[in-house]
Amino acid sequence: MDTTDLSGTSYAVLGILEKQPRSGYDLSAFADRTVAHFWPISRTLVYRELARLERLGLATGTPVAQERLPDKRVYTITAEGRAAFDDWLARPTFEEARFRSGFLLKLFFGLRVPAERVTQLLEDYRHSLQEEASSLRVISDRLAGDTAKRFGRLTALYGVRSAEARLAWLDEVEAELHVRSASAKREETT
């Protein structure tokens, strides 16, 4: 089977299914609690990927009737899906990490807004990073000692360390902007 057109999201969905069969809703909820910290997947994309993986024979869906809820479809990874997932895991290369950051985009255009707004932007970002680090620290601590969840813990720990590094960078940004604003004020008074 040619899997050259599979994306990282395709493999994330296969990996989650490899852990256990899930409905689209359950898969999306699991992704939100786990891989979304570094690989966000919208619910719409989950359903689209599940349909695609099923068409490709990498997953199968089974209808499940429910009494008090709408019927659902539970997906299972197939042997071909498992082989494709294992092949992807064995490849030594990975995509260049690119991400979107509304914060960095606004900071990039910081000259266009008043200094107070930039200060608020930095404070809001600091608060967000502190919450992120705290949340991921809880996850990392909860998974500590469970060898079956070792790799989940390590990815959570990466998130903690990344947030800490961004907080350290933010200290530098605030220091530099404070220095610049102080020198700009001196120039205005002379």
Residue 44 pLDDT greater than 50, yes or no: yes
Does the pLDDT of residue 11 top 50, yes or no? yes
Q: Which CATH number fits domain 8-90: 3.40.50.880, 3.40.50.1220, 2.60.40.1180, 1.10.10.10?
A: 1.10.10.10
Helical (H) or strand (E) element with 6: none
Residue 17 neighbours by CB under 8 Å, 6+ apart: 27, 59, 75, 76, 77, 81
Q: Is the dihedral of CA 169, 170, 171, 174 positive or negative?
A: positive
Q: Kindly state the DSSP code that residue 149 receives in the 8-state scheme.
A: G
Quick one: tokens of 135? 């949340």
Q: Is the dihedral of CA 14, 20, 23, 25 positive or negative?
A: negative
- The pLDDT value given to residue 4: 66
Average model confidence (pLDDT) for the chain? 90
All residues at 6 or more sequence positions from 174 whose CB lies less than 8 Å from its CB, including other chains: 122
- Order across the sheet with 72-77: list the strands: 22-23, 72-77, 59-64
Between helix 43-55 and helix 8-19 the angle, nearest 10°, is 80
pLDDT classification of 31: cutoffs 50, 70, 90 = very high
Radius of gyration over alpha carbons of the chain, in Å? Answer: 22
**What pLDDT was estimated at residue 183?**
47
pLDDT by residue (tens digit) across 156-187?
999 999 999 999 999 999 999 885 554 455 55
Domain parsing of the chain, residue ranges: 8-90, 102-189
pLDDT digits (tens, 9 = 90+) for 83-136: 999 999 998 876 677 778 889 999 999 999 899 999 999 999 999 999 999 999
Q: What pTM value is reported for the model? A: 0.74
